[in-house]
Amino acid sequence: MDLERFRERFGDKVKIDKNILTLADKKDLIRVVKFVSKYFDVLYMLIVVHRPPKFELNYIFSRYQDQEIIQIKVEISDKENIASISNIFKSAEWEEREAYDMFGIVFRDHPDLRRILLPEDWPGHPMRKDFVVTEEIKHWTGLDLKF
Amino acid sequence: MKVDDAVPNEFSYPGLGEIFITNTRKFINKVLSWGRANSLWPLTFGTSCCAIEMMVYGATKVDADRLGNLFIGDSPRQADMIFVSGTITKKMARRLLTVYQQMPAPKYVVAVGACNISGGLFWDSYNVIDGIDRIMPVDVYIPGCPPRPEQFLDAVKVLQKLINENKTRGGVYGPREI
């Protein structure tokens, strides 16, 4: 199993529990993901959980040969930014755009960090815990209409 | 367009005034609305499950063609009415409005399904337009989630009646009259 290699390579920088790797420091993310990309060839998904005042980012990787799954967990403060992994896994580009759209996480060195689901001029980031759906937001159309 | 200048109030030919009991203006309006009511070419704007029912309405069992409601060209330039069938998100609202503005002037809007009437299931969502009458004038509403294909038939009948009585909202130009 690859997990032993992780333990040899990174020591106590990662905490390994079954197939979940928890990173102690977000600066190690790029190094760990580069190592992961040697053995795993697809990024399944990026799951973000907002536990105020922290964001929990879960990168889930897999490979085609035996459907092995590995999960990398990073915690950042909700005011910090984090490095983009889109130059290692190309499909992370849209996943990170969605995370930016819904949570407002800024990914450094992302080639094209725009909103992906909501309109460009939409106010706020709706999946944050402190976001409240007010009447104003409910009736917002972004259109200047008179009829 | 001001048609008042182009069409005189009375025909100058003698005798024709006796044939038409009503005056020409009324007569032409009647002919126009008869024509409009019986050749409603819809523009299909399907974004979710209501569109499936709209397809059934266009198919052979509930035959739309016998009302002159021909599903022919899916181009806004040739359409007389629009079936807005499906949830309209805030991003989609702009596209819908662009399509609506491309349609030629006597245009009618049919709001299909609960999402288009009031937001429906997504009434307190942050990203769904709660009722498309917030962004465009709607003539006929079809309730249901999704509505039956027969309800489309009924809606078109109602729309034809409204056109014949000149009671449609007729888009941004107001009721269409010569």
Using a CB–CB cut-off of 8 Å, the residues of A that contact B are 117-119, 122, 126, 131, 133, 137-143, 145, 147
Of all residues in chain A, the one with the smallest CA distance to B92 is A119
The alpha-carbon radius of gyration of chain B (Å, integer) is 18
Spatial contact of A141 and B134, defined as CB atoms under 8 Å apart:
yes
User: Residues, chain A, total?
Assistant: 147
One digit per residue, the tens of pLDDT, for chain A of length 147 reads 567 787 888 877 888 888 888 888 888 899 989 988 988 889 999 999 999 889 999 999 998 988 889 999 999 998 888 999 999 999 999 999 999 999 999 999 999 899 998 888 888 899 999 998 888 888 888 776 655
**What is the ipTM metric for this complex?**
0.76
A144 contact residues in B (CB cutoff 8 A):
none
- What separation, in Å, do the N-terminal and C-terminal C-alpha atoms of chain A show? 66
CATH superfamily of A4-141: NADH:ubiquinone oxidoreductase Nqo5 subunit (3.30.460.80)
Inspect the interface and report whether the beta carbons of B94 and A117 lie closer than 8 Å.
no
> Where do the domains of chain A lie?
4-141
The answer to whether A133 contacts B124, with C-beta atoms less than 8 Å apart, is yes
Q: Which tokens go with B71?
A: 């599903």
Confidence at residue B9, expressed as pLDDT on a 0 to 100 scale: 60
Break chain B into its structural domains and give their ranges. Answer: 15-164
Q: How many CA atoms lie within 13 A of B143 on its CB side?
A: 1
| β-bridge pairing B108-112 and B140-142 | parallel
Q: How many CA atoms lie within 13 A of A20 on its CB side?
A: 7
Confidence band for B83, pLDDT divided at 50, 70 and 90: very high
Task: Please give the torsion angle defined by the CA atoms of residues B164, B165, B170 and B174, in that order, rounded to the nearest 10 degrees.
Answer: 140
CATH topology assigned to domain B15-164: Rossmann fold (3.40.50)
Q: Cα-flanking dihedrals φ and ψ of residue B121, to 5°? A: -60, -30
List, in sequence order, the alpha helices (H) in B39-108.
Answer: 50-58, 90-102
Could you report the per-residue pLDDT of B2-20, keeping only the tens digit for each? 555 555 565 555 556 556 5
Cis ω for the linkage preceding B76 (within 30 of 0): no
Q: Measure the CA–CA gap between B28 and B8, rounded to whole angstroms.
A: 12
> Residue A126 and residue B129: Cβ atoms within 8 Å?
no
Calpha distance A101→A76 (Å, rounded)? 17
